Amino acid sequence: MLATAMQGRPVGMIVSSDLPRAYETASAIGDAVGIEPRPDERWREFNMGIFQGNTRDEIIRKFPDEWRGFQSNYWDFHIPSGESRRMMQARVYGAWQALLESAVGPEVVVVSHGGALRMLLIRLFPDFPEIDSVHLSNTSVTTLEHTSQGWHPAQIASVEHLTVASNDGAGEASA
């Protein structure tokens, strides 16, 4: 449904996390607008290191010291074999900066992951603390616009394209 909603948009470039689910979504959008997405590992989700693949209860049981550190130091606890949230934010912000230097427009589509995008939005818009509590669901659309005053969020986490699709009798949402 997201790809269908993107048809007809003046997309000049698509950049995506190289992880399969995100890249498949980017490819579906690319097929709809006639552009091949560019994979970029910097748009990946938070690298949870030793926590990856474990439930919260398993993490607490297997890695109690690391879990306490993770809970007590939100931004700077570096998960062993992973990264800290601040490291992830710097990585994604670096991808954003590179995108601004090479973007082909008038519109650019970035397909990434909720945590990565949240960290970017927090960095770009520190005066909007409510961004930290918004749920960026799968295939939600966040639109940033550039004006003479700089970047601003035009919409955050919109799922309108899913509502329109379900009202058309299309059933489950897909890319």
Domains of the chain in start order, with CATH, are 2-46+84-167 (3.40.50.1240), 48-82 (no CATH)
Q: Which amino acid is at 153?
A: P
User: What pLDDT digit, counting tens, does each position of 20-53 carry?
Assistant: 999 999 999 999 999 999 999 999 999 999 999 9
Instruction: Estimate to the nearest angstrom the gap between the alpha carbon of 33 and the chain centroid.
Output: 20
State the pLDDT at residue 139: 87
pTM value is 0.87
User: What pLDDT digit, counting tens, does each position of 52-103 carry?
Assistant: 999 999 999 999 999 999 999 999 999 999 999 999 999 999 999 999 999 8
Instruction: Estimate to the nearest angstrom the gap between the alpha carbon of 29 and the chain centroid.
Output: 15
Q: How high does pLDDT run on average in the chain?
A: 91
* Distance (Å, whole) CA 22 – CA 140: 12
